Amino acid sequence: MPLTKRQFQVLSFLDQFVQENGYCPSFDEIGKNLQLSSLATVHKHINTLERKGFIRRHYNRSRSIEILNREPLEQVTRAKRRANPLSRSGRDVQLPLLGRIAAGQPLEALSSDESISLREFVGSKSVYVLQVKGSSMIDDHICDGDFVLVQNTQAVENGDTIVALIDNGEATLKKFYREKNDYVRLQPANSEMQPIVVKAKDLTVQGRVIAVLRKY
């Protein structure tokens, strides 16, 4: 069933908000983001999306909307990818490279009994665990062998430590800074390394570091 532009915007905002925050926006937040002053209009769109089967609501609870059908959002992602063959969706890539050495894998299975508590994050869609390879973040005291917890989001800010995929196929752990003319500077926290400067469109942000873990 086709969606109107407005309905698509609501669905898209819901999806993005949940991915970034791990929980659902309130009607108020939806209204603000779409610049709708009337909550009744938000209600109407939500009702329509529910009727068309794209979302499901849980009653007697605020902020509990579940997205059932992401197809319209996927279509847009695929279209974007077709338009720019160099960009890649986070869904394709088995996570990444930290530093400039061969790609690492997200922790799908934890063999060490010592890391038993990290199992809480394995399989989570909002936060995943990576192990650091290399010394590009050494000045920030993130060392080879440390683990980082990464929030699955594309919305990052200046100064955030991010996991980034750049167009030559590398994935890397760097600090993110926006520069003029749509450039982005990826700054290593290692005084002996050079920053990488790329066009924003050639960069895919996979996530933002929210915690660092070291085991002895």
Partner 1 sequence: MADGQHPREPVIFHADMDAFFVSVEELFDPGLRGKAVIVGGVPNQRGVVSAASYEARKFGVHSAMPLVTAKQLCPHAIFLPGRRDKYVEYSHKVEQVFRASTPDVEMVSIDEAFLDFTGSGRLYGDPFQLAHRLRTEILRKTGLGASIGISRTKMVSKVASDLAKPRGILCVLPGHEAVFLGPLKVGKLPGVGKVTVGRLHDLGITNVAQLCSVGQSFLAGTFGLWGESLYRKAQGLDTAHFEFHEEPKSISHEHTFDRDTADTEELHATLASLVARTAHRLRDHRMFASTITLKLRDLDFRTITRALSLREPSQLDRDIMESVFDLLKKNWDGRSKIRLLGVAVSGLSFGPLQQDLFQQESREKMARLCEAADKIRGRFGFDSIAPARTIQ
Positions annotated as catalytic residues are 136, 174
Mind giving me the DSSP string for 52-76?
A: TTSEEE-TT-TT-EEE---HHHHHH
Please, what's the largest Cα pairwise distance for the chain?
57
Q: State in angstroms the smallest separation of the CB of 139 from partner 1.
A: 9
The tokens describing 6, both together, are 């407005």
Strands 171-179 and 161-166: antiparallel
What whole-number distance in Å separates Cα of residue 118 and Cα of residue 115?
Answer: 6
When computed from its CA atoms, the radius of gyration of the chain, rounded to whole angstroms, is: 19
**Among residues 67 and 103, whose Cβ is nearest to partner 1?**
67
x/- string (CB under 8 A) for partner 1, residues 159-188?
Answer: xxx---------------------------
Considering only residues 106 to 135 of the shown chain, the ones binding partner 1 according to CB under 8 A are 113-114, 117-118, 120-121, 124, 126-127
Q: State in angstroms the smallest separation of the CB of 69 from partner 1.
A: 19
84 near partner 1, rule: CB under 8 A: no
Sites of contact with partner 1 (CB under 8 A): 21-24, 26, 60-64, 113-114, 117-118, 120-121, 124, 126-127, 140-142, 149, 151, 159-161, 208-216
